[in-house]
Structure 1
Amino acid sequence: MAQSLNTSVEYKTKAVSYLGIGGKVGHILLGDKALEFYNDKNVNDYIQIPWSAINHIGANVSGKKVSRHFEIFTDQGKFLFASGDSGKILKITRQHIGNDKVIKLPTLIQTFIAKLFPKAKKSE
């Protein structure tokens, strides 16, 4: 059994982790010290990310709707999650890591356009 980093849990919701091959269904726990994901089928399959280790977190926003998927960027890599409550997760995360670290990710179309038409570098 995994030892939780949190002493208290602020929010718990169902989520899917896309780390490795295929999605793993489980629960995301947002607490006072970390964001934690625990797999429903195997409790020893978990992800614990302390608030201090998060560089930034982001999701796609279209109008006023936040997409189900969100990414967490750390020094060790990025983690992709999906949850129906991703907007609430981002709001609670903002309280712990700060407003400047919660970002709006580019949409798929914006990514394609940026790759097709790269900005020219200015020579000095």
Structure 2
Amino acid sequence: MVQSINSTVELTTTGVSYLGMGGKVGKFMLGDKGLEFFNDKNVADYIQIPWTSINQIGANVSGKKISRHFEIFTDQGKFLFASKDSGKILKIARQHIGNDKVIKLPTLIQTIASKFKRK
């Protein structure tokens, strides 16, 4: 059985992890020590990211709408997730890691426009 890094849980929700090939459906658990993702099909397939190891976390924002997809940047690499509650996840992350580490990622249209501006 997997041991959680959190002693208290602030939010539990469903979502998808895009680590490796294809998406893995599972549960997010956010608590006092970090963010955890547990795969529904294989409990031994999990991701635990302590708040202290997160360099940045961000999502696409257009107007007041936050995208389902969000990215977490750590020293170990980049993790891509999706959840219907991505706004709640970002709010809890902001409380633990600070305002300066929660960022707005560029939308697809902004990314394409920046590529044309460079040329």
Q: Identify the TM-score tier after normalising by the shorter chain.
A: over 0.9
Opposite residue 10 of structure 1, the aligned amino acid is E
Question: C-alpha separation between the residues in 1 aligned to 2:22 and 2:9?
Answer: 27
Paired position in structure 1 for 2:108: 108
Unaligned runs of 5+ in 2: none
SS of 2:72's equivalent in the other structure is strand
What is the total number of aligned residue pairs between the two structures?
119
- What RMSD, in angstroms, separates the aligned Cα atoms of the two structures? 1.0
Choose 1 or 2 for highest CA Rg.
Answer: 1
1:78 aligns with 2:78: yes
Distance (whole Å) between structure 2 residues aligned to residue 118 and residue 106 of structure 1: 16
Code of the residue aligned with 1:62 in structure 2: it is S
The one-letter code of the counterpart of 2:57 is I
Shift of 1:61: 0.5
Matched, 1:58 2:62: no
User: TM (normalized to structure 1)?
Assistant: 0.93
Q: Deviations over 1:29-68 (max 9, x none)?
A: 0000010000011100000000000000000001101010
- Measure the CA separation in 2 of the matches of 1:3 and 1:88: 24
Aligned to 1:40: 40
Q: Deviations over 1:86-107 (max 9, x none)?
A: 0011001100000110000001
Structure 1 counterpart of 2:95, which letter? Q
Q: Which consecutive aligned stretches of 4+ in structure 1 deviate over 2 angstroms post-superposition?
A: none
Query: Whole-Å Cα distance in 2 between the matches of residues 51 and 118 of structure 1?
Result: 35
What is the CA distance between 1:25 and its match in structure 2? 0.4
- How many angstroms apart in 1 are the aligned matches of 2:93 and 2:83? 14
Residue 115 of structure 1: CA displacement?
1.6
1:122 equivalent in structure 2: none
Q: Which amino acid aligns with 1:46?
A: Y
For 1:97, give the aligned amino acid. I
Which 5+ residue runs of structure 1 have no aligned equivalent? Answer: 120-124
Cα displacement (A) at 1:22: 0.6
* 1:97 alignment counterpart: 97
